[in-house]
Structure 1
Amino acid sequence: MLVDFKELPDTARIWIYQANRSFTSEELDEIKNKLEAFITQWTAHGADLKAGFDIKYKRFITIALDQDMNQATGCSIDASVHFIQQLETDYKVDLMDKMNVSYKQGEFVAYKTLTDFRKMAKNRSVSPNTIVFNNLVTNIAEYKTDWEVPAKDSWHNRFLN
């Protein structure tokens, strides 16, 4: 059951997928349509899942699930992963690699491998105040407060010393 992302409770579970490049406007329109179709039919053992999605900065896809209605199961999580993998294939983009870092450079979002980000931190090309995206947040409440934060306030801090 597709619902507006803004209508989901702060306790809703989320999964964040960051792309290794920005999507074009045309791709974003297609991806939104595909997300709507997927979430509309997404179920757990035949039971509807109350879910929504958010896309930010033309590169982050966030799927949220209100687990108060029905919880995700192994099969439903597998279905969502297969859906994301199909997007990777369709748009020749990487969405599943968690070993990469996105951060803000002014108004732009940059994307680096963890190794490159570590080197940039060592060379002071990024600072404790550099805004990073903490894709490890697990619910909408954390997404609102702890997703887009200074590096010093996230797991990225370990590379700044």
Structure 2
Amino acid sequence: MQHQRWLTGAACCLFPMLTQAAMPAAHACPESVPEASISLNAVPAGWTPYIGSPLYLSAAAPIDGAPARRGQLVPSGESTKQGGTTLSYRLEGPCPDGKWLQCSYSVHGEVTLSRRMDDSVSLCEFTYRKGRKAGQNEIDIDCR
């Protein structure tokens, strides 16, 4: 009986933490783009496309305006510590088309996913660490 009460007590304290940890961060990039979501259309006659693996996250940065505008921003600072490199971006001034988070996939960022951020965001820090796959980076994003 006492053992059962301990489990109940532990569950009430542990499950809220697990639930909170499982929630996605407001400014986080998906780790990869699944191969099932990638398609090649209008390939040259006689060729058969095959996509054998997902595209992994390689870079992330804030951009000025929607992705088609290509409003790449320059970092305002860079620091290296504990095996990671942090790029800082100051997002001050007007962004009439909004502030966006752009996540780039594949070795050279040929595919991007973008999401509009709140206009009140004024600073973003991106901490990069090498991922397990070729060209992959693990990126912690802190925008406020």
TM norm structure 1: 0.25
Higher strand share: 2
**TM-score (normalizing by structure 2):** 0.27
